[in-house]
Amino acid sequence: MKIIVCVKQVPDTNDVKTDVETGRIIREGVVSMVNPDDRHAMEEALRLRQKHGGSVIALSMGPMQAKNALMQMLAMGADEGYLLCDPLFAGSDTWATAYALGTCIQHLGLPDVILCGRQATDGDTAQVGPQLAEYLGIPQVTQVRAVVEHGAGFRVEAFMEEGYRVVKVAPPLLLTVSSECNQPRYPNMIQIVQAHRKKKVTVLSAADIGALAEFSGLNGSPTRVKRVFVPAPPPKGELFDGPPHEAVEAFIMKLKEYHLVPS
Amino acid sequence: MIAVDVDACTGCALCLGSCPFGAISMVREKASVDREICTLCGACVEICPDGAISIKKADIISSEGKDVLIFAEQRGGELARVSLELLGVGRGLATDCGSTLHAFIIGENLQVVSEKLIHCGAQVVHPVDLPGLSDYRTSTYTQIACSIITRLRPGIVLFGATARGRDLAPRVAQRLNTGLTADCTELSIDPVEKILLQTRPTFGGNIMATIITPSRRPQMATVREGVMELPEPDVTLTGLVKPFAMETPLEGIHEFCEVIHEKRRAVTLGKAKIIVAGGRGVGSPQGFELLGQLADLLGGEVAGSRVAVEKQWIERERQVGQTGSAVAPDLYIACGISGSVQHRAGIKGARVVAAINTDPDAPIFHRANFGIVGDVREIIPLLIAALKS
Ligand SMILES: Cc1cc2nc3c(=O)[nH]c(=O)nc-3n(C[C@H](O)[C@H](O)[C@H](O)COP(=O)(O)OP(=O)(O)OC[C@H]3O[C@@H](n4cnc5c(N)ncnc54)[C@H](O)[C@@H]3O)c2cc1C
Ligand SMILES: Nc1ncnc2c1ncn2[C@@H]1O[C@H](COP(=O)(O)O)[C@@H](O)[C@H]1O
């Protein structure tokens, strides 16, 4: 079974800076990590490989430093890493990200299963997975919480407001994996060292995969950031900053005033 | 694609100054656009006196349409609340565009719900009413949505950011080669350019971003439940129900689904009247036990910020905010929560917000009606004691 896992490197802190001019995030100088849901996607891939044999590729689009994220995936157990890195891809929205990842996957050969995280913590759109599936013309199941073998395909449980739904689906397919699906393994020192020694990350440019400029990056993105702004805060509410017991008393008076507790 | 008609270009260089990105230069006295820098903003097209610059869109759908279309979602025959909320915003947008509000709905036996959509503001409802369509299937729903959009050519299409909406909308946007903005908290029409301004909180801190889809159509967005106001149904409103007939046979369905209703552990944050929520400042699982006691006393539920969930002080189902639940209680007590924009996005619907925080400048106090500057570990026990007596 051939599996590709899409992995995004995201900023680790919540205080991310944006370039107010372009509205894009400044990724340089911010501590980065693997998007949490993508670890769950990788874990699911490794479990599938364990059962069916085959290989697991970790694929990321991003700046050179995203190599670190891929190294972590190799340490976790992925066989190979590919980093799609080209200034042409800068400023991609989800449509253009799906185009770039999709073109790259066509270049590498369509696998049996593509796994994405449910959602990335920075953009927080949960759009790239389904958009990638559409670009490749394969079925998708999003927000997956369990994957079970079923004949030649899978029986997948996916989150819905009512509970969950069960979908039977055969490869090639794309799943977006949520954190309820599994507990990702942590690589030990030996695995980390081995990954650095024996496995490699291949860097690909737009030209390498035949991505066209008119569909790539900011230029190919249907959306634009028009404005980034800090909303003016409304005035503060009434504050009680006296001694604690007095503050508590005033607080309870307020609750009564609003008829929130019986007076 | 941006193109310069070199025969029409007189080399006046007006476009050079108009380009906010410095993407234009003169090559042999003709304007030349560096496509890697150009963002297709259209400033040069506007200024060129000779009409020599044009932006050719790679879209399938032209930008003629101005109508607003919403995806009305049914679950087991019931309308999702967010769909009605979308009708509320959609009606406003349609008015601002001088256009009509449409809704489409996919399922079985849709007469009653179609009426309801009209009473909530839809002017034209397009039911796709076929046996076997009540259960959501990505491929079939995508095919139907794309057919309707291609035929109606709306300027704007809105989806609820529900499990189904988040599965469907990106698939549709990709197929139609257009933009999609997730989880908008504000939607309005630019009075000059008449395009949709899609505002959403973004990237940590207190930053909002306004996203536009300048040249492709339709402009698509998702909105989470509880963010927009629910319109009052008005039974005197009238509208058209126009059953939509698919011209192409429904695609081979490669997904078979069965929906399993699960009684999750009763987390009813969305309906709770009182919520006591904690963040990083609560400091420990023990701290959350105290919040639980306070919630019990008030007859409410406990909730948390993302940080509290990440620290596993509280279950993920109880996260409030942009990526958690949107809540609308009568009282929301925020304890040791800074009040980031993502967190506040979830409490827009709260009637009264009270906050307890050591930092008098914490942003939460700007959302709070009142609050205590103090340590939760000290204040909460005092509150519990005072309420008990
Ligand atoms: C894309 C994205 C989506 C997000 N979605 C969500 C979401 O859905 N929900 C969410 O909550 N967050 C979300 N976040 C995270 C959000 O940006 C904030 O990081 C988070 O809300 C902060 O949680 P907090 O207020 O508990 O912690 P902090 O911001 O660290 O605030 C802790 C507060 O506690 C106060 N404090 C400390 N000690 C005490 C004490 N002893 N007594 C009283 N007060 C004390 C401090 O003064 C401070 O104000 C999201 C972030 C991103 C980037
Ligand atoms: N630049 C990227 N490189 C690789 N995978 C990505 C990238 N962006 C998004 N993804 C995948 O798409 C998922 C959803 O991302 P998002 O739509 O940004 O929330 C992530 O969890 C990743 O699996």
B304 Cα: distance to centroid of ligand 1 (angstroms): 9
* Range name among A119-128, A210-219, B89-98 with the lowest pLDDT average: A119-128
8 Å CB contact of A23 and B209: yes
Q: Which residue has the higher pLDDT, A108 or A226?
A: A108
Q: How many CA atoms lie within 13 A of A255 on its CB side?
A: 22
pLDDT of residue B63: 42
Integer angstrom CA distances of residue B294 from B270, B297, B318, B323: 19, 5, 16, 25
- Name the residue facing A94 among B135, B180, B382 (closest C-beta): B180
Contact by Cβ (8 Å): A22, B21: no
pLDDT of residue B323: 78
Integer angstrom CA distances of residue B204 from A11, B136, B336: 10, 34, 18
Q: pLDDT at residue A14 above 70?
A: no
Q: pLDDT at residue B266 above 60?
A: no
A128 Cα: distance to centroid of ligand 2 (angstroms): 5
8 Å CB contact of B258 and A94: no
Q: pLDDT at residue A103 above 90?
A: yes
In ligand 2, the atom with minimum distance to the C-alpha of A123 is: 18
Q: What is the pTM of this model?
A: 0.78
B249 pLDDT band, cuts 50/70/90, is confident
Q: Whose alpha carbon is nearest atom 29 of ligand 1? A: B338
Contacts of A235 in chain B (CB under 8 A): 366
- Name the residue facing B204 among A13, A128, A169 (closest C-beta): A13
Question: Which of helix, strand or coil describes residue B279?
Answer: coil
Q: pLDDT at residue B358 above 60?
A: yes
Residue A87 tokens read as 């200034």
Residue ranges matching CATH 3.40.50.620 in chain B: 68-241
8 Å CB contact of A252 and B387: yes
**Topology adopted by domain B269-388:** Rossmann fold (3.40.50)
Ligand nearest to the CA of residue A83, numbered in listed order: 2
A contact residues 33-72, partner B, Cβ 8 Å cutoff = none
A contact residues 65-124, partner B, Cβ 8 Å cutoff = 87-88, 93-95, 98, 119, 122-124
Q: pLDDT at residue B119 above 50?
A: yes
Contacts of B180 in chain A (CB under 8 A): 94-95, 125, 127, 223
pLDDT of residue B253: 59
* Residue A83: strand pairing partners: A60, A203
Ligand nearest to the CA of residue A81, numbered in listed order: 2
8 Å CB contact of A214 and B36: no
**Topology adopted by domain B2-55:** Alpha-Beta Plaits (3.30.70)
Contact by Cβ (8 Å): B43, B20: yes
Beta carbons within 10 angstroms of residue A140's beta carbon: 28
8 Å CB contact of B177 and A222: yes
B121 Cα: distance to centroid of ligand 2 (angstroms): 36
pLDDT tens digits along A163-198 = 889 999 999 999 999 988 999 999 999 999 999 999
Q: pLDDT at residue B58 above 50?
A: no
In ligand 1, the atom with minimum distance to the C-alpha of B202 is: 1
Q: Residue A57, by phi and psi: left (phi above 0), alpha (psi -120 to 50) or beta?
A: beta
Q: Is B137 in the pocket of ligand 1 (CB under 6 A)?
A: no
Once rounded to an integer, what is the mean pLDDT over residues B214-241? 92
B68-241: CATH superfamily: HUPs (3.40.50.620)
Q: Which residue has the higher pLDDT, A224 or B226?
A: A224
pLDDT of residue A26: 62
Report which of A101, A112, A78, A81 is spatially closest to residue A184, judged by C-alpha positions: A78
Contacts of B262 in chain A (CB under 8 A): 162-164
Structural domain boundaries of chain A? 2-220
pLDDT of residue B62: 39
Q: Is B308 in the pocket of ligand 1 (CB under 6 A)?
A: yes
B280 Cα: distance to centroid of ligand 1 (angstroms): 6
8 Å CB contact of A163 and B262: yes
pLDDT of residue A20: 56
Rounded to a whole number, what is the distance in Å from the CA of A184 to chain B's nearest CA? 15
Beta carbons within 10 angstroms of residue B191's beta carbon: 8
Contact by Cβ (8 Å): B163, A143: yes
* Residue B102: strand pairing partners: B69, B124
Q: Which residue has the higher pLDDT, B213 or B63?
A: B213
pLDDT of residue B45: 85
- Name the residue facing A142 among B166, B175, B353 (closest C-beta): B166
Residue A146 sits at the chain B interface (C-beta within 8 Å)? no
pLDDT of residue A19: 60
Q: For chain B, where are the alpha helices, taking DSSP H only?
A: 14-18, 43-47, 81-97, 111-119, 138-152, 163-175, 285-298, 306-310, 341-344, 364-367, 376-388
- Name the residue facing A140 among B138, B163, B353 (closest C-beta): B138
Instruction: Return d(Cα B67, Cα B69) in angstroms, integer.
Output: 7
Q: Is B279 in the pocket of ligand 1 (CB under 6 A)?
A: yes
**Topology adopted by domain A2-220:** Rossmann fold (3.40.50)
Q: Which residue has the higher pLDDT, B349 or B153?
A: B153
B167: amino acid identity, one letter: D
Instruction: Return d(Cα B113, Cα B145) in angstroms, integer.
Output: 18
Report which of A168, A166, A147 is spatially closest to residue A49, judged by C-alpha positions: A147
8 Å CB contact of B205 and A14: yes
Contacts of B170 in chain A (CB under 8 A): 94, 125-131, 134
**Per-residue H/E/C for chain A:** CEEEEECCEEECCCCCCECCCCCCECCCCCCEEECHHHHHHHHHHHHHHHHHCCEEEEEEECCHHHHHHHHHHHHHCCCEEEEECCHHHCCCCHHHHHHHHHHHHHHHCCCCEEEEECCCCCCCCCCHHHHHHHHHCCCEEEEEEEEEEECCEEEEEEEECCEEEEEEECCCEEEEECHHHCCCCCCCHHHHHHHHHHCCEEEECHHHHCCCHHHCHHHHCCCEEEEEECCCCCCCCEEECCCHHHHHHHHHHHHHHCCCCCC
A119 Cα: distance to centroid of ligand 2 (angstroms): 7
Residue ranges matching CATH 3.30.70.20 in chain B: 2-55
Instruction: Return d(Cα B124, Cα A42) in angstroms, integer.
Output: 46
Report which of B233, B232, B314 is spatially closest to residue B275, judged by C-alpha positions: B314
Contacts of A228 in chain B (CB under 8 A): 202, 207-210
- Name the residue facing B38 among A168, A219, A240 (closest C-beta): A219
pLDDT tens digits along A106-131 = 999 999 999 999 999 887 899 999 99
> Which chain A residue is nearest to residue B215, measuring alpha carbons?
A222
Q: Whose alpha carbon is nearest atom 36 of ligand 1? A: B281
Residue B115: Cβ-neighbour burial (10 angstroms; 0-12, 13-18, 19+): middle
Instruction: Return d(Cα B273, Cα B87) in angstroms, integer.
Output: 25
